[in-house]
Amino acid sequence: MMKNISLFLVLAITIISCKSTSETSTDTPVGDTSQTSLDWNGIYVGTTPCADCPGIKTVIILNNDLTYTKQTKYLERPVDATSETGTFSWNAAGNTVTLKANGNTQAYFVGEGTLTHLDLNGKKITGDLADKYVLKQQPENMLIDTPWKLVELNGKPIANVSKQPFLLLSGTDNRVSGNTSCNGFGGEYELLEGNRIKFSKMMHTMMACPDMTVENQFMKVLEMADNYSVVNGVLNINKGRMATLAKFKVDYLLSN
- Domains of the chain (ranges, CATH numbers): 34-137 (2.40.128.640), 147-254 (2.40.128.270)
Q: How far apart are the first and last CA of the chain?
A: 80
Q: CA–CA separation, 236 vs 151, rounded Å? A: 10
Alpha-carbon 235 to chain mean position: 16
Q: What is the pLDDT of residues 187-234, one digit of tens each?
A: 999 999 999 999 999 999 999 999 999 999 999 999 999 999 988 789
Report phi then psi at 47, rounded to 5. -120, 110
Across 149-160, average pLDDT: 95
- Residue type at position 227: N
Across 48-72, average pLDDT: 94
Q: CA–CA separation, 149 vs 250, rounded Å? A: 6
Q: CA–CA separation, 246 vs 249, rounded Å? A: 10
Radius of gyration (C-alpha) of the chain in whole angstroms: 26
